[in-house]
Structures are given as structure tokens and as C-alpha cells.
Amino acid sequence: MQSWFTFELNGAECRVDGVATNKTLAQFLADRGTWPEGPCFAPTDSWAGGDLVLLATIDAVGRPKYRAVDATLLFLPMMAGQDIWTWEAFCLMDPGHTVVRAMRAASLECGPRAEARLGLLLVEGYYRQDLRWMGQLREQLDGIVTRTANWRAIERVARQIFAKAERMRHEAEQIAQASGVGKLIQQGRLDVFDDIFSRHLVAYYPEDDEDLSYVDESKRRFYRPKTLVELLQLKNQYPDAEVIAGGTGMGQTAGKSEWETLISTEDVEELRVIRKEPNHWEIGAAVTLTSVGETVGRDVGPLGKLLSRFASRAVRNRATLGGNLAIAATYGQIAPLLIALDARVHLTSLEGERDAPMAMFFDRGGKSILRPGEVIRSISVPRFTESILEKRGSQSRLCDAYMVTLRRSLCEPLMTGAFAVELAADGTVKKAWIAYSGVSDRPLRARKAEKELVGRKWNEKAIMQVLPSVNQEIKIEDDRGNDDYRRQLVITLFQKFYFQHPKVADDVAVELGAASEFAHPEQPFFDALALGDKSVL
């Protein structure tokens, strides 16, 4: 085993010798001393936004990307071989970086920490190739800006910055079309920005290092194997070892935790796959929620919508789907939707493989059916194309999830309801799914009500007829408070699902709720800023 490793910090090699495996990157940076005016990386609450750094990485479809991540949740050995930038690097760049110049010109009046948080999220957005719509702009910054009163000013700056990036990409694409290198732009391999960070990013290929086996001064171990077999063998060798994925769940107790052995899933090829099959999506357990949203979420609308409000961009950039399910948080908002999507979870150990429908994965007491030595390998999410539905004797499938929280994001959900119905051509319900989290010690499914819906016409009368069963089956059984309110929500979320979706006779969905009136998620944010307008920044 090795007692040291290196990573790149702001373009220079940084060596780590014997440092504790449970130390976070934020603690490490704080110990190194801070830049006088910069963020201090002192202990902070990740639920308040954390302290961010930018991580160069390769996305689910193989393109190099910068991802803003919370350094307070990153265990230091996770950084071995990684390429990290802090806000300081952008502020010191000469000539000034577009994002820094735009923020300074707008006098956003935020403290150094908030400025760094916002700045790095804007930098990530600036280099994002897919950022075009208002909904994406909000998704990029939500969780951080929903905590400030400065949203209007921030949104204006963000639109300027992202519009500039869009204009540069647009111009580069026009040139590329003529010279036949358009593919390089799509692959993120052509530098359209010409600054030190963009040059660095297009050249970024993570080194194909050996597996990491690191031991700290207290003999605590951190392994980062490359294959599933190695991971399972390590788990077998160290029965008390804890598997670690994105670390956003475990990182909250970093420093205080005393794990003797940590085994990271981050480099395990088999757990990082994301595959679109004719009948389903196969999502490796170690795929981040951002990657799930940007691939599966584009195809499976309700999943994309739900993930865009999960925690914050910086958390989603690390948090994995497998980690989320393994935690089995009673308020977890993804599980009910996966139930409504009829997803299955695949588990693996040295003894073999097994799988289970999503609803059967969770056990009493906030636990799951995972056995010692077993890990989540993947989650399969069915695709409901017209031909697949036809084979099932259905014509259409409605599915949605509703999350109730105190704030739009970066906030523990109070309750989530997810629903789906498959309808025959005459509007008869062929199959139904009604699931909730945040009500009990595990996600609950209203199976009796689902059965009662089958064979009925999908109309208001049917909804009213099954509500008593929903009420009876979905009991508030935890001690999180607001019981009366949550009892009401069980009913109203289901009704909302009915009223917000097209009826057999309708051509279009009925949109309810204030959000839809001003959200305009599909509106391009650069509309107001003509692409050719060079005066913008």
C-alpha cells in the first residue's frame, strides 16, 4: 500500500503524505493557509452551500467537463490523481476571466465565500456545452441562489455570461462547419474560449492510474479499485469496510468518522455505465445524479424534473444514484419516482447477482435488503415507447413526481409523491403506481388503491373512489412533525397528478400552479441578448 498520493491543484502538483483518510479536501485546503481575500475553506455546513472547488472530469458520454463540487464533502484520498481548481485561480487570472469580470462589474455584494460558490457554479455553466434554457440556468444555480435576495442581479449576470459562451460556441461551430471539425466541438475537444482553463479542459484525459491503495498515519485504508471483482474481493477481505461513492452522504460526518477501511466505487468501470437499451435504461450505481439527469432525464421527463431540484448542482455533481438508494433516507425523493417508473435494482456480491423491484428494496427501520458483502450494481429504468406500451395493451402512460419542500432546493423534502398510470385507448386504467416517501420509515406504495384503479376509466370519479384506500394505506408513521399537513398532502398530491395531466379527450396538458406562469424552463436565456451582440461582456 502507498502512504502518499498527488493531485493537481490550480495547475500545480500537490503531494499528500500520510494525511488521515477521513480528512476532507476543505480541511486540507484550510490547513494549507488561505488566500487573503479568498474563501477560507473553514468548517461550513454543506446544507448552506458548502465551499466549492472545480473538478475536471469526464461526463457520462465521454466529454471533458468541469464540475463544481463541495470540498467539505470530499474525503481527501478521493482526490488522488484528480485535477482541482479553486476560485482563487480564476480571480488571479490575467487578463481577468469572463466570469470574474462580469461578477465584479455587477457588484453582487456577496461575501468572499458566497462569491466563490456562485463564481464556480457560473464557471461550470460557462464551459457547459448544453446550457441553453432558462430551466437549465436555474438548475445550475438553484440551491445557492435560492438562499440569497440577490436573485435578479445574479440571474442577469448569469444570462450575460452564458450568452457570451453560447455566442463563442456558435461562432466556432460556424467556422467548424466550414473546416469539418464540428465533431470536435460536440466532443468538447475543440477549445472555443482560448483561456488557460479551457485549454486545460480540452486536453484533459484522466491518467489511467493503477488502483489506489492508500494507508494513512493511523493505518486507516482507502481503496479505489478499477473492477467490480476487485471491489467485492476487498469487501470480502474487510467485512467492516464501508463502500463510498460520491461521499455526499458520508462526507457530512467526515472528520468525526472512524472508518478503518473505505472502498471507493468511483473508478469501478461496471458501476459507471449508463446505457440506453431498446426497452430500458441501465444506470450504474456510481453514476452521478447530474449525469443521470443529463442523459436519462432528457428521455424520462419526470426523472429529469425531479433531479433538477435535488439538493444543489454541487451535490448532484458527486452524489450517485446507488449511494442515494443505499442510504435509504426516509425522505429520499428519488425512490418513489423509481417505483412509479417500475424500476428494478440489481445487487451483486461474490456469491452472485439478484435483483428486486424498487419498492421491495427498502426494509423497515430505514434499512434496505442489502446484505453484508453485497453492493448495488445498477438500476434499470424501463422505457415506455409507443411500441412497448402497445405490447402491454396500453396506449399511453402518465407519470410524474411532486416534491414538497420548504425551499425549492438544498432542503430536506417534507414529502414526495410519485404516480403513474397506463391507459388503454378508451381511457381505462391498465396499471397504476402510487408511491410516497417522507411518510414512514421507508417509501410506501398504495397497492390496494392501485388495484382499485385498474379497469376504471381515468377520471375524477375514479380518483375520488380510490382516495379512501390511499388514505388508509399511506399513514404518517414517523415523528417528523406536520402530521396533519402531510396527511392532506398524501391526498392533494395524487389529485394534482390527475388534474395536471392530459385527459383522454384533451390534446394538451393542463398546467396548474404559480410556478409554471413565470418559470418558462424551455425559454432560451440568450433570447434577450442577440447572439451577434458583441457588446455583451
Ligand X SMILES: Cc1cc2nc3c(=O)[nH]c(=O)nc-3n(C[C@H](O)[C@H](O)[C@H](O)COP(=O)(O)OP(=O)(O)OC[C@H]3O[C@@H](n4cnc5c(N)ncnc54)[C@H](O)[C@@H]3O)c2cc1C
Please count the CA atoms within 13 angstroms of the CA of 337 that sit on its side-chain side.
25
Is 77 a binding residue for ligand X by CB under 6 A? The answer is: no
Give the footprint of ligand X on residues 46-75 (CB under 6 A). Answer: 46-47, 73
What's the min distance (Å) between Cβ of 374 and ligand X? 7
Q: Which is nearer to ligand X, 243 or 474 (CB)?
A: 243
**Quick one: 71 or 311, whose CB is closer to ligand X?**
311
**Mask 335-374, x = binds ligand X (CB under 6 A)?**
-----------------------------------x----
Sole binder of ligand X in the list 125, 246, 302, 336 (CB under 6 A): 246
Site string for ligand X, 18-47 (x = CB under 6 A): ----------------------------xx
Helices (H), ranges, 300-405: 301-307, 313-316, 321-327, 334-340, 358-361, 386-391
Residue 375 lies near ligand X (rule: CB under 6 A):
yes
Q: Give me the DSSP letters along 214-261.
A: EE-TT--EEEE-SSHHHHHHHHHH-TT-EEESS-TTGGGGTTT---SE
Cβ-closest position to ligand X? 323
Binding of residue 327 to ligand X (CB under 6 A): yes
- Residues 408, 479 contacting (CB under 8 angstroms): no
- Give the separation between CA 499 and CA 524, rounded to whole angstroms: 28
Q: Minimal distance in Å, beta carbon 232 to ligand X?
A: 11
Question: What is the C-alpha separation between 259 and 210, in angstroms, rounded?
Answer: 23
Paired sense of beta strands 221-224 and 261-264, if any = parallel
Which position among 292, 319, 453, 470 is part of the footprint of ligand X (CB under 6 A)? 319
Q: Give the nearest distance from C-beta 11 to ligand X in angstroms.
A: 27
Amino acid of residue 444: L
Q: Which amino acid is at 286?
A: A
Of the pair 55, 163, the CB lying nearest ligand X is at 55
Q: Are the C-beta atoms of 314 and 52 separated by less than 8 Å? A: yes
Rounded least distance, CB 272 to ligand X, Å:
11
Among the listed ranges 14-22, 179-187, 197-205, 241-249, the one in contact with ligand X (CB under 6 A) is 241-249
Residues near 18 by beta carbon (within 8 Å), at least 6 away in sequence: 3, 4, 216, 217
Site for ligand X in 255-314 (CB under 6 A): 265, 285, 310-311
Q: Which is nearer to ligand X, 98 or 265 (CB)?
A: 265
* Rg value, the chain, Cα: 24
The Cα 32–Cα 448 span in angstroms is 59
* Residues in contact with ligand X by the rule CB under 6 A: 46-47, 73, 242-250, 252, 265, 285, 310-311, 315, 318-320, 322-324, 326-327, 329, 332-333, 370, 375-376, 410, 413
